[in-house]
Amino acid sequence: MAKPNEAPEVVDSPPETRTAPTKGKVITGAGNNATVVLPPTTKSSSKVQAATYEALDKQDKVNVFIPKAEGELPEMVVCINDVQWVVPRGKMVLVPSTVAEILNERLASESKLVEESEKSKERLKQGGI
């Protein structure tokens, strides 16, 4: 997302090195904003996509930092009504508050899964389930 006085950069496809969605319009704003991907839609869903983008663009922005993790993709993607927010790991970026909430819930869920997996491994080592 661009700042009010700056036009967003729109390109036809993201760089080939990207692991996130590769089809659709890509909007990158100035500064430390996350990348937004607007995939191709049908006529009926394009209005929903546009309304969602506008609503999210108007929300307060929040700084988020997703730590880099071995074996993980270099970015996380949050998709809301065909609006995809590509958030790189290891870099502080601005995202709408709703996107930040989703990322926080996802990270908490992943953390809990890792914790439960470790407990399960320990129980197996001790001969139980």
Q: Does residue 4 lie in a domain region?
A: no
Q: What Cα–Cα distance (Å) separates residue 74 from each residue in 46, 49, 88, 106?
A: 29, 25, 6, 16
Q: Does residue 2 lie in a domain region?
A: no
Query: Which domain range does residue 106 map to?
Result: 9-125
Instruction: Give me the chain's average pLDDT, please.
Output: 76
pTM of the model as a whole: 0.66
Query: Residue 29 — very low, low, confident or very high, per pLDDT cuts 50/70/90?
Result: low
pLDDT tens across 52-73, in order? Answer: 989 998 999 999 998 888 888 8
Q: Does residue 108 lie in a domain region?
A: yes
Q: What's the average model confidence in pLDDT over 23-27?
A: 66
Instruction: Categorise residue 82: left if φ over 0, alpha if ψ from -120 to 50, beta otherwise.
Output: left
Q: What is the Cβ-side half-sphere exposure of residue 125, based on CA atoms within 13 angstroms?
A: 6
- Please state the domain count of the chain: 1
Q: Does residue 62 lie in a domain region?
A: yes
45: tokens are 């869903």
Q: Does residue 1 lie in a domain region?
A: no
pLDDT at 31 over 70: no
Flag the least confident range among 52-61, 77-86, 117-126.
117-126
Query: Residue 100 — very low, low, confident or very high, per pLDDT cuts 50/70/90?
Result: very high
Separation between Cα atoms, residue 56 and residue 106, nearest integer Å: 19
